[in-house]
Amino acid sequence: MGNSKNALKSPEKISRPALATVPRHVGIIMDGNGRWAKAKKLPRTMGHRQGAENLRHILEAAVDFGIEILTIYAFSTENWNRPKSEVKGLMNLFHYYFDRELDELAKNGVQLRHVGHMAGMSLSLQKKIRKAVEQTKNNNRLILNVAFNYGGRSEIVHAVQAIIKAGIPPEQVTESLFSRYLYTGGQPDPDLIIRTSGELRTSNFLPWQAAYAEYYITPVYWPDFNEAELYKALLEFNRRKRRFGGLNSDE
């Protein structure tokens, strides 16, 4: 992150008009690594590697734009269904990424949080995630929720189980109480969800939290989704009229 900072201060960026509104919480479905690689006649793993590289730049850009919380979809509970070799490659990449980036992220004020189930991951990865969360817990420049081994429906089922286990009487189960039992408990809902590579579906990403999020879908593959593309998404967000079921004062 640190070294890439200067590269991001391009004249193009400086001349960009300021945004009237910056979403507090942005979710990204980082999709299209495989197709990016295929288009270049490279193995899919290369796409994942390039996708991880890209994340450093987007994190820096998110901080610069003033986004407070970024939730990235890195590995879904359904992604275990991929060929063993791809899953193994992805797990190795996460290990490598943590080892290489953690100190830099911590230094840059990023607070890491895990959004997803620990069970099912290797013990060494669980340990790394716990350490990263602990090491960065007092940072406040950007909250980075890493949705890893995450599935929205299963998150809801876990929340229901936890509420029952806690012996909470049914009449006390409200929307706000329920939200607190999700992995994002205590955080504001996402305002904007970006999906790269063109698929028009949520793939089980934050079904509860994104009930009123604005969606932005771009055909650009994740490894090519750069700061200028993020700016485009934020501009489009500024054009949206959010109503939350009501009416705005000018309508």
Shorter beta-carbon distance to ligand IPE: residue 73 or 225:
73
25, 26, 27, 31: residue in contact with ligand IPE (rule CB under 6 A): 31
Q: Near ligand IPE by CB under 6 A, which window of 25-33, 102-110, 151-159, 223-231?
A: 25-33
Q: Near Mg ion by CB under 5 A, which window of 28-36, 40-48, 88-96, 106-114?
A: 28-36
214 near Mg ion, rule: CB under 5 A: no
Kindly state the smallest distance separating residue 199's Cβ from Mg ion, in Å: 7
30 near ligand IPE, rule: CB under 6 A: yes
Shorter beta-carbon distance to Mg ion: residue 196 or 209:
196
154 near ligand IPE, rule: CB under 6 A: no
31 near Mg ion, rule: CB under 5 A: yes
How many residues touch ligand IPE under the rule CB under 6 A: the total is 17
So which residues are the catalytic ones? Answer: 31, 79
25, 63, 75, 112: residue in contact with ligand IPE (rule CB under 6 A): 75
Q: Near ligand IPE by CB under 6 A, which window of 9-17, 74-82, 176-184, 224-232?
A: 74-82
**C-alpha dihedral (244, 246, 249, 251), degrees to nearest 10:** 110
12 near ligand IPE, rule: CB under 6 A: no
Contact letters for ligand IPE, residues 196-225 (x by CB under 6 A): -x-x-x-x----------------------
- Write a three-state SS string for the chain: CCCHHHHHCCHHHHCCCCCCCCCCEEEEECCCHHHHHHHCCCCHHHHHHHHHHHHHHHHHHHHHHCCCEEEEEEEEHHHHHCCHHHHHHHHHHHHHHHHHHHHHHHHCCEEEEEECCCCCCCHHHHHHHHHHHHHCCCCCCEEEEEEEEECHHHHHHHHHHHHHHCCCCHHHCCHHHHHHCCCCCCCCCCCEEEEECCCCCCCCCCCCCCCCCEEEEECCCHHHCCHHHHHHHHHHHHHCCCCCCCCCCCC
Q: How far is CA 150 from CA 119, 123, 244, in A?
A: 11, 17, 26
Which parts of this chain interact with Mg ion (CB under 5 A)? 31
Which parts of this chain interact with ligand IPE (CB under 6 A)? 29-35, 73-76, 79, 90, 197, 199, 201, 203
